[in-house]
Amino acid sequence: MDRNLQIIGLAKKAGLLAVGAEDSGSAARSKKAHIIISANDSSDNSLRRASSSAEIGQVLHIIVPYTSFELGSVSGRGSPGTVAILDLGLAARFMRGLAETDPERYRVSAEILSTKAGAKADKRKANRKKTDMKKAKTTWKGRTNV
């Protein structure tokens, strides 16, 4: 199985995948989705709806070289034409994998998501450092070490 399809399956198992046009669109509009993925055999109406939802939610919308049957086999639901990944790290990894297979088509999108993921990781690291410093100021008895 393709590594990118495995990432979609992992997102599904983790509960970080919206499956189907309606769920994907809802996740994008509520700004929970980080990328909307459409199968290459999706109908024009599905592509238009996904593109509109992505524009409203300000997320990436891409058409991948997989069929709706392939997306369905890893997402566990029929043959959805559209899925959305709700985790930034998984979305960035998915796009890096696509960029490796077709750099001309997916490189820019992969760079955008990687930059966002890196910024989020840096912010999380800074917050963790603040928390660790606060913990270091107190002892186990609740007295400060000042």
The domains found in the chain, sorted by start residue, are 3-136 (3.30.1330.30)
User: pLDDT by residue (tens digit) across 8-33?
Assistant: 999 999 999 999 999 999 999 999 99
Q: What is the DSSP letter of 41?
A: T
- Model confidence at 59, in pLDDT bands (50, 70, 90)? very high
4-18, 21-35, 103-117, 120-134 — which is least confidently predicted? 120-134
